[in-house]
């Protein structure tokens, strides 16, 4: 391409020096974000839609450079890429000053282009990927571009109906996941691209603050191992849902009837974990906690005074239920509640006492202070953070993810500490893994 580009720029220089200068700026910028083999559709879109609006001295200059680059790409025979550079979409994105409005338009344009890496069950992409994540996104874009040219997203037979938007998106997600998990992407440590991305996200999130770096220290192996599910917690939820059946009428106060509470207590929990007192649901904490958890992750819902399974609950396999649990118990928000959960989960993985809420609250308060959070205008202190650490501990206990430590079990202590079971450690690691791969953290 070098000789062809030089010849084209020389021609432009002879007829319109200003056009030649802008085309050269555009080409240099494009090459800077392109793979060694040369521009791809993904790199063209990335340069025009992401980098140019900041690199150019104002929107007008950005549009001039985009149009000049389009003329150069046209002369090089890259007509499709030239059309992108000269499109109304590119001009609109370059001229959009407000970042929130730009982001919304950028996501829509990338989706419409057909080569953007879609969010899947495996990963949610950052808006401005860096490091290995950017390399992976580019590889997915190149693969989708080749698949498009090869007709992978066309009807399976000549003259057939064009694929609908949902079908095309499903195929693109399939391509995305295939690239992430393919053996062709393995590095020197034999890690596929998805696991390389996980390492990158650990490093990225650890850079936000020193307490967060401490939090993830020593968790890497457990987070990688958590790709494989364990089913004890899942069986507990399946048994609970089984007790609900097709649905059950709630009391006037909105609780499960007493006889069903007793059935759940004896069916769902093993003898050593059964509530010491079984009566009303409001007084039977483990049953109430599990029921609220199942509603929060949208596996059960209220309908006309009844508690019923949701439509997707009836279709879920055990693997699907594991994904719902690990993805929904904490979620992907960046908020003091979810940061508190991260602290508890990290302590579980390394075998620390999760019932020691005071220590957890102290760790959490340091993390919140380091990342700029306040509590009612004040710097967070352990007494502010302590309530945030309690709810998840109750849910983990109801799931059977924690147990008394050996010393407390033998001593009969009334203030027994709780450490994670082996399955509890896997659950904690899987939840943190999900957060790392799916949370879009704001820039600090």
Task: Quote the pLDDT of residue 294.
Answer: 96
Lowest-pLDDT choice from 164-168, 208-212, 330-334: 164-168
Tell me the pLDDT band of 410, cut-offs 50, 70 and 90. very low
Residue 125 has pLDDT above 90, yes or no: yes
Give 379-388 pLDDT, tens digit per residue. Answer: 888 888 888 7
Structure tokens at 437: 């791969």
Q: What is the DSSP letter of 186?
A: -
Strand pairing partners for 302?
Answer: 307
- pTM attached to this predicted model: 0.84
DSSP output for 45-90: HHIIIIIHHHHSSSHHHHHHHHHHHHHHHHHTT-HHHHHHHTSHHH
What average pLDDT does the segment 180-199 reach? 85
Residue 166 has pLDDT above 90, yes or no: no
> Nearest Cα to 182, choosing from 171, 174, 193, 173?
193
Residue 342 has pLDDT above 60, yes or no: yes
Task: Quote the pLDDT of residue 417.
Answer: 60
Task: Report helix angle 131-149 to 165-181, nearest 10.
Answer: 130
Nearest 10 degrees: CA dihedral of 219, 319, 265, 353?
0
Q: Mean pLDDT for the chain?
A: 89
Cβ neighbours of residue 203 under 8 Å, at least 6 residues apart? Answer: 131
Residue 325 has pLDDT above 60, yes or no: yes
> Nearest Cα to 147, choosing from 181, 179, 119?
179
Residue 106 has pLDDT above 50, yes or no: yes
The arrangement of strands across the sheet holding 248-249 comes to 248-249, 306-309, 300-303
Give 43-72 pLDDT, tens digit per residue. Answer: 999 999 999 988 878 899 999 999 999 999
Structure tokens at 435: 């957060």
Residue 310 has pLDDT above 90, yes or no: yes
Task: Give the 3-state DSSP-derived string for 317-378, with helices as H, strands as E and coil as C.
Answer: CHHHHHHHHHHHCCCCCCCHHHHHHHHHHHHHHCCCCCCCHHHHHHHHHHHHHHCCCCECCE
């Amino acid at each position: 391409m070098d000789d062809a580009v030089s010849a084209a720029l020389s021609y432009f220089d002879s007829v319109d020096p200003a056009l030649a200068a802008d085309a050269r700026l555009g080409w240099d910028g494009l090459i800077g974000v392109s793979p060694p083999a040369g521009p791809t559709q993904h790199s063209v879109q990335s340069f025009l839609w992401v980098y140019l609006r900041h690199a150019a001295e104002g929107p007008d200059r950005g549009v001039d450079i985009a149009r000049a680059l389009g003329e150069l790409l046209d002369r090089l025979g890259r007509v499709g890429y030239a059309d992108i550079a000269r499109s109304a979409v590119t001009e609109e994105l370059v001229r959009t000053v407000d970042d929130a409005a730009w982001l919304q338009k950028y996501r829509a344009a990338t989706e419409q282009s057909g080569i953007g890496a879609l969010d899947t069950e495996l990963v949610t992409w950052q808006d401005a990927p860096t490091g290995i994540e950017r390399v992976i996104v580019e590889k997915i874009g190149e693969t989708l571009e080749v698949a498009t040219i090869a007709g992978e997203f066309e009807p399976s037979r000549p003259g057939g109906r064009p694929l609908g938007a949902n079908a095309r998106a499903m195929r693109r997600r399939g391509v995305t996941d295939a690239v992430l998990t393919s053996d062709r992407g393995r590095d020197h440590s034999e890690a596929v691209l998805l696991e390389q991305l996980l390492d990158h996200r650990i490093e990225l999130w650890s850079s936000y603050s020193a307490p967060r770096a401490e939090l993830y220290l020593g968790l890497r192996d457990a987070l990688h191992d958590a790709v494989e599910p364990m089913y004890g917690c899942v069986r507990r939820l399946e048994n609970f849902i089984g007790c609900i059946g097709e649905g059950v009428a709630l009391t006037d106060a909105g609780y499960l009837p007493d006889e069903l509470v007793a059935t759940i207590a004896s069916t769902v929990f093993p003898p050593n974990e059964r509530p010491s007192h079984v009566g009303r649901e409001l007084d039977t904490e483990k049953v109430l906690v599990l029921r609220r958890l199942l509603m929060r992750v949208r596996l059960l819902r209220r309908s006309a005074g009844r508690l019923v399974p949701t439509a997707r609950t009836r279709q879920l396999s055990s693997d699907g239920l594991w994904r719902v649990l690990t993805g929904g118990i904490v979620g992907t928000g960046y908020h003091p509640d979810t940061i508190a959960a991260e602290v508890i989960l990290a302590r579980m993985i390394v075998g620390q006492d999760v019932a020691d809420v005071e220590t957890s609250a102290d760790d959490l308060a340091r993390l919140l202070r380091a990342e700029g959070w306040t509590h009612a205008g004040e710097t967070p202190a352990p007494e502010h953070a302590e309530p945030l650490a309690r709810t998840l501990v109750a849910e983990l206990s109801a799931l059977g993810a924690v147990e008394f430590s050996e010393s407390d079990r033998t001593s009969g202590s009334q203030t027994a500490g709780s450490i994670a079971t082996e399955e509890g450690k896997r659950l904690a690691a899987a939840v943190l893994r999900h957060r790392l791969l799916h949370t879009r953290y704001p820039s600090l």
